[in-house]
Amino acid sequence: MMKIQTVTVIGVTGTMGANVAGIFASFGDAKVYCVGRDIEKVKKTIPRIVKSVKADAIRKNLIPADFSMLEDCVSQSDLVFESCKEDIGIKKEIASRVGAVLQPHAVSGTGSSGLSIEEIASCYPEELRGRFFGIHMFNPPYTLPLCELTPTTYADKDLQAELKEYLRNRLYRTVVEVKDSPAFLGNRIGFQFINEALQYAEKYKDNGGIDYIDALLGPFTGRAMAPLATSDFVGLDVHKAIVDNIYENTDDYAHETFVLPEFATDLVSEGKLGRKSGGGLYQQVKYENGLKRQTTFDVNTGLYRDVIPYVFPFADKMKRRIAEGDYQKAFELLVNNHSQEAELCLSFLLKYIVYSLYATEEVGYSVEAADDVMATGFNWCPPLAMYQALSTVADVSQLIRERLPEICQRIDVGHYLADVKPSKYDYRPYFKSGR
């Protein structure tokens, strides 16, 4: 296996930089140069890295450094991982600096979640370009093992195979090879779903908007966290960067579902990004006496109000069935209930299956790739498992034709459905009861 004894992580004070440094220092047992702009800030990040893998033993592997030491660190490293701001200018500048001193045997990678890997690679000297890859992990990598590996056209194929083996067998990542396409595969599928949910929050603003949509796409539909709560968790700024990038640089049948609704653009410009900024799509109000109130942004009024405890009969019954492990009965309720909410919910799940199959053909190399990215990067019931789950009560391809006529007009759904295989993931753990 590839011998990686020394690693440089650039941009270590960021959430991903810190967490990825933890992965290299623990599973990889590598000496990690932790490079950030401000060495004092880097030193303060070390305990966070230790905590991210729950192991004091890695502390000795973590060596703080700043940008003035970058060349020194890189020239001693077997692997360099750049995890700076998602800004092509910054990334190219760093690539040039790394490329100037990278050892001939070393590997270099970027954690970029969607910029052009090819463009960054071009900053490396010609003889080193083949040693540069996209290595995109998900947050937090200790619990979400997905790693999207993106080769460029320059890629050294043997090196790619070795790197893949290292990531899989040494760092215990679920490695999915993807093409150099905006946002890669996981975020392409995930944010298609999340952004369309956000558009529906605007469309159904008179029904309640954000919390209304989340209430009908919650954990009982095969995920740990409802889609708009997920956006609030990762931050609307990150969400915006991802969907803008996809919208500008791709053109598929779901193109319009990547347009960020105006109210969300406004929230971003006001700095209301989500949990990390103290409020965004949701806002938790804390009182001095310790009481907490969960509020949400009301698209109609532009003000925050209490989250509404919606009770949709179909969802309520589904949750009760799931609580007792009667998954089939739960899916029967979903398929056979014709309330507006049940139909919306089912159409989202069907669209998710279709878009996953479509996107994996464009961005991935196998239909299973879609399953791997959604299960291990998002913790959502992956598309093939979702297909299998619904197949226990209905003919899913028939259902897709009935419920998604517009999409069926735009693409040859039959072509994509022909790729469906049994999933290696068990759908049951993903469908949760409770809110």
Partner 1 sequence: MSKVYILGGAQTDFERNWKKEGKGMIALLKEVLTDGLNHAGLTFDDVKELNKENRVACFVGNFIAEKYTDQGHLGAFLTEVDPAFYGVPSARYEAACASSSAAIDAGATKIRSGDYDVCVVVGWELMKTVESSVGGDYLGRAAYYEKEGKGIELPFPKLFGRLADETLKKYPWLDEQRYMDALARISVTNYDNAKRNPLAQTRRWFMSYEQASTRDTETNPLVGGRLGVSDCSQVTDGAAVVVLCSERFLEERDIENKPVVKGYGHRTAPMLFEKKMADNEGSEYTLPWTRQAALDAYRRSGLTVDDIDVFETHDCFTSSEYAAISAFGLTEPGKEYEAVESGQISFSGSKPINPSGGLIGCGHPVGASGARMLLDLYKQVTGTAGEYQVQGARNGMMLNIGGSATTNYVFVVGKE
418 binds partner 1 (CB under 8 A): no
- Smallest gap, in angstroms, from Cβ of residue 377 to partner 1? 14
Nearer CB in complex with partner 1: 26/245: 26
45 binds partner 1 (CB under 8 A): no
Nearer CB in complex with partner 1: 53/273: 53
The correct pick among 12, 213, 254, 322 for binding partner 1 (CB under 8 A) is: 322
**Piece of 10-18, 49-57, 119-127, 301-309 that binds partner 1 (CB under 8 A):** 49-57
Amino acid at 78: D
Q: Please enumerate in sequence order all residues whose Cβ is within 8 A of that of 291, keeping only pairs 6 or more positions apart, or say none.
A: none
Size of site (CB under 8 A) for partner 1: 28
202 binds partner 1 (CB under 8 A): no
Among positions 346-405, residues that touch partner 1 (CB under 8 A) are none
- Smallest gap, in angstroms, from Cβ of residue 426 to partner 1? 7
Nearer CB in complex with partner 1: 248/324: 324
316 binds partner 1 (CB under 8 A): no
233 binds partner 1 (CB under 8 A): no
The correct pick among 3, 57, 125, 300 for binding partner 1 (CB under 8 A) is: 57
- Smallest gap, in angstroms, from Cβ of residue 4 to partner 1? 16
**Piece of 55-63, 192-200, 307-315, 405-413 that binds partner 1 (CB under 8 A):** 55-63
- Smallest gap, in angstroms, from Cβ of residue 146 to partner 1? 12
- Smallest gap, in angstroms, from Cβ of residue 428 to partner 1? 6
Nearer CB in complex with partner 1: 96/174: 174
Nearer CB in complex with partner 1: 29/93: 29
- Smallest gap, in angstroms, from Cβ of residue 408 to partner 1? 34
104 binds partner 1 (CB under 8 A): no
User: Residues 154-158: contacts with CB within 8 Å, 24+ apart?
Assistant: 154/121, 154/129, 154/130, 155/130, 156/130, 156/131
161 binds partner 1 (CB under 8 A): no
422 binds partner 1 (CB under 8 A): no
50 binds partner 1 (CB under 8 A): yes
Q: What is the side-by-side strand order in the sheet with 292-297?
A: 282-286, 292-297, 304-306
**Both tokens of residue 158?**
């043997």
The correct pick among 13, 69, 92, 142 for binding partner 1 (CB under 8 A) is: 142
- Smallest gap, in angstroms, from Cβ of residue 224 to partner 1? 8
Taking the alpha carbons at both ends of the chain, their separation in whole angstroms is: 45
309 binds partner 1 (CB under 8 A): no
Interacting residues toward partner 1 by CB under 8 A: 26-27, 29, 50-51, 53-58, 142-143, 145, 172, 219, 319, 322-326, 426, 428-429, 432-434
